[in-house]
């Protein structure tokens, strides 16, 4: 019996190929993450009525940016791993049809891929929350409740939502 190997366009995963082909975009993403984390941190502190905003910002912004940025490689890695699903695996053909191909082109074309990509982004946000909750605000004078609220704000607002962008729209705009 002959084994057939099908090759799929793995480059359709927008964040991965975009960042690998254009390394200078990492600088843009880090700067964007820094600015976004700053807005969220400053806004969250002001919303909670905290007085010493600049001190907390200075002590935690680098860590907030780093932990927020960690979500991008986590998300990309999980989504990229779906491209290695084989037809010979149990339910392999179904997974390729409903998960692998839609994730690489338009995750909203199948319910399975849409749920999967939302779960992956939520997982990355959860990792960001855990990292910020337990490490970012250690050197500040914030209470546990304030740290928890700020960590939730940062996780929700700075999650890697770009991974949810259908890459097919990028291809259609180029072609």
Tell me the per-residue pLDDT of 152-164, one tens digit each, with 9 for 90 and over.
Answer: 999 999 888 888 8
- Please name the residue that has the structure tokens 């940016």: 65
Can you give 87-150 as a three-state secondary structure string?
CCCCCHHHHHHHHHHHHHHCHHHCHHHHHHHHHHHHHHHHHHHHHHHHHHCCCCCCCHHHHHHH
**Cα angle, residue 22 at apex, residues 115 and 132 outer, rounded to 5°:** 55
Residues 6+ apart with CB under 8 A from 4: 87
In this prediction the pTM is: 0.80
Tell me the per-residue pLDDT of 63-89, one tens digit each, with 9 for 90 and over.
Answer: 999 888 888 888 888 888 888 877 787
């Amino acid at each position: 019996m002959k084994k057939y190997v099908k090759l799929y366009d793995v480059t359709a995963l927008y964040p991965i190929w975009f960042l690998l082909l254009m390394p200078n975009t990492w600088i843009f993403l880090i700067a964007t993450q820094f600015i976004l984390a700053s807005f969220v941190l400053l806004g969250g502190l002001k919303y909670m009525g905290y007085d010493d905003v600049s001190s907390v910002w200075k002590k935690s912004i680098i860590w907030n940016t780093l932990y927020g940025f960690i979500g991008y490689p986590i998300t990309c890695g999980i989504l990229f791993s779906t491209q290695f699903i084989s037809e010979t695996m149990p339910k392999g053909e179904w997974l390729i049809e409903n998960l692998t191909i839609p994730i690489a082109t338009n995750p909203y074309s199948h319910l399975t891929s849409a749920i999967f990509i939302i779960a992956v982004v939520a997982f990355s946000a959860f990792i960001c929350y855990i990292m910020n909750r337990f490490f970012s605000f250690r050197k500040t004078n914030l209470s546990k409740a304030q740290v928890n609220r700020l960590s939730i704000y940062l996780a929700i607002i700075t999650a890697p939502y770009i991974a949810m962008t259908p890459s097919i729209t990028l291809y259609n705009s180029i072609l």
